[in-house]
C-alpha cells in the first residue's frame, strides 16, 4: 500500500524552523503497529495520521504518534495537518470564510480548528486550535533532584511560581533567568526514569525573563519518557502554560481575555512562536486556543 505524506514546519513562517511534523493522508487502512513503524521511520517528534471520522459531529479524525508511543494530544502536528489538508484543497472554506470551523475527532475529544489571514501578507495564514479546557494541579516533586537532572541547581528555580501538573501529565517549572534556561543540558536517561516513576509526560521549563518585552514567556520542553528528548515547539503545553500566566496575573487581561505571546527555542537550534488566547468564563474556569503559522517542506509517498 502507498500513502501520500508531507512534512510541515509548525509555529514558523520560514522553512526548517519551528517544529516539523509528518502528516500521512488517508490512513484508514493502517493499524496501530503500522503507524508506530511509520512514526519511527520519520523519527520526528510527532507524526499525524488523517482518517475519516466515525462520530457524527466531526469532519475528520487525527491520531498522533511519537517515535515511541501514541499520544492523546499534539498541538503542532494538528496545526500541520490542518495546514496540509487545506493546501491539498480539502476544507478550503477555512480560508475563504473566516467563520468556518473544522471539528476534529481525537482521543482528547472533538477539537476545533479555524484559520485567520495575517494582515501583513496575503499568502500568510494562522491556524487556530481550540484546546481542551486547561486543568492545572499542584505537584510535589523532589525539586533539588529535578534541577540536577535538568542540568541546573535548586537556586535557579523560581520558587515564587509553584510547579504545576497539566491535564496531559506535563510539569510546568519556572526558572529565574533566560541564560540558565538556554544553558540547560539535561541528563536524559535519569530524567526519563524520573518521569516514568512520576507518570510525567514531559517537563516545560520556562522563564519570564525573555529576550523582548513583547514575549511573555520563553520555554524549552523535555519529554524523554515519550521518546522525545527535546521538542522544538510544543503546542499542547502552551494552553496550560498561558493559562498559568493568566491565573497568576502575569499577563494583562482585557474584558476577560488575555493574548499571550510565547516562544520556545532550542539553544542554537529550532525556535517557534506560539500565540495563545485565554478567556475567563466567570464561575466556569478558562478556555484557551493556540495559533501558529505553518510551511510545508516535503511531499512524497510512503510504502507499507
Each residue's pLDDT tens digit, 153-201: 999 999 999 999 999 999 999 999 999 999 999 999 999 999 999 999 9
What is the per-residue pLDDT for 44?
A: 97
Contact status, residue 40 vs residue 67, Cβ threshold 8 Å: yes
Mean pLDDT, residues 25-48: 98
The whole-angstrom separation of Cα 71 and Cα 63 is: 8
What is the per-residue pLDDT for 25?
A: 98
Mean pLDDT, residues 243-249: 96
pTM: 0.94
What is the per-residue pLDDT for 178?
A: 97
The whole-angstrom separation of Cα 26 and Cα 2 is: 10
Catalytic positions: 46
CATH of 2-133+292-303, one of 3.40.50.880, 3.10.310.10, 3.50.50.60, 3.90.660.20: 3.10.310.10
Burial 144-155 (b: 16+ CB within 10 A, else e): eebbbbbebeee
Helical H segments across 157-271, by residue range? 178-183, 188-198, 235-247
Q: What is the mean pLDDT of the chain?
A: 96
**Residue 119 pLDDT > 90, yes or no?**
no
Residue ranges of domains in the chain: 2-133+292-303, 137-284
What is the per-residue pLDDT for 98?
A: 86
CATH fold, domain 137-284, is Diaminopimelate Epimerase; Chain A, domain 1 (3.10.310)
Query: Could you tell me which residues come within 8 angstroms of residue 193 by beta carbon, excluding any fewer than 6 positions away?
Result: none
- Identical fold between 2-133+292-303 and 137-284: yes
The whole-angstrom separation of Cα 95 and Cα 151 is: 44
At residue 120 the predicted structure's pLDDT band, cuts being 50, 70 and 90, is confident
Instruction: Specify the higher pLDDT residue, 284 or 155.
Output: 155
Amino acid at each position: 500500500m502507498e500513502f501520500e505524506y508531507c512534512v510541515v514546519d509548525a509555529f514558523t513562517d520560514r522553512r526548517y524552523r519551528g517544529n516539523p511534523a509528518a502528516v500521512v493522508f488517508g490512513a484508514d487502512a493502517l493499524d496501530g503497529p503500522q503507524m508506530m513503524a511509520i512514526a519511527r521511520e520519520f523519527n520526528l517528534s510527532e507524526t499525524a495520521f488523517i482518517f475519516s471520522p466515525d462520530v457524527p459531529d466531526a469532519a475528520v479524525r487525527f491520531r498522533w504518534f511519537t517515535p515511541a508511543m501514541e499520544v492523546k494530544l499534539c498541538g503542532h502536528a494538528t496545526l500541520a495537518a490542518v495546514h496540509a489538508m487545506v493546501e491539498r484543497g480539502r476544507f478550503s472554506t477555512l480560508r475563504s470564510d473566516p467563520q468556518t470551523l473544522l471539528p476534529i475527532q481525537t482521543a482528547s475529544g472533538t477539537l476545533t480548528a479555524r484559520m485567520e489571514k495575517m494582515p501583513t501578507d496575503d499568502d500568510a495564514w494562522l491556524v487556530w486550535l481550540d484546546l481542551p479546557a486547561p486543568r492545572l494541579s499542584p505537584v510535589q516533586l523532589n525539586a533539588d533532584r529535578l534541577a540536577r537532572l535538568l542540568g541546573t541547581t535548586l537556586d535557579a528555580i523560581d520558587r515564587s511560581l509553584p510547579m504545576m501538573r497539566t491535564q496531559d501529565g506535563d510539569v510546568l517549572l519556572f526558572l529565574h533567568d533566560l541564560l540558565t534556561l538556554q544553558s540547560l543540558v539535561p541528563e536524559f536517561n535519569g530524567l526519563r526514569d524520573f518521569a516514568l516513576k512520576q507518570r510525567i509526560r514531559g517537563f516545560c521549563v520556562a522563564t519570564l525573563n525573555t529576550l523582548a518585552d513583547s514575549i511573555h514567556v520563553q520555554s524549552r520542553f523535555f519529554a524523554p519518557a515519550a521518546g522525545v528528548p527535546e521538542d522544538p515547539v510544543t503546542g499542547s503545553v502552551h494552553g496550560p502554560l498561558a493559562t498559568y500566566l493568566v491565573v497568576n496575573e502575569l499577563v494583562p487581561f482585557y474584558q476577560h481575555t488575555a493574548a499571550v505571546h510565547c516562544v520556545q527555542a532550542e539553544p542554537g537550534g529550532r525556535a517557534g512562536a506560539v500565540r495563545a488566547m485565554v478567556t475567563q468564563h466567570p464561575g466556569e474556569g478558562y478556555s484557551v486556543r493556540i495559533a501558529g503559522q505553518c510551511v510545508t517542506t516535503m511531499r512524497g509517498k510512503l510504502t507499507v
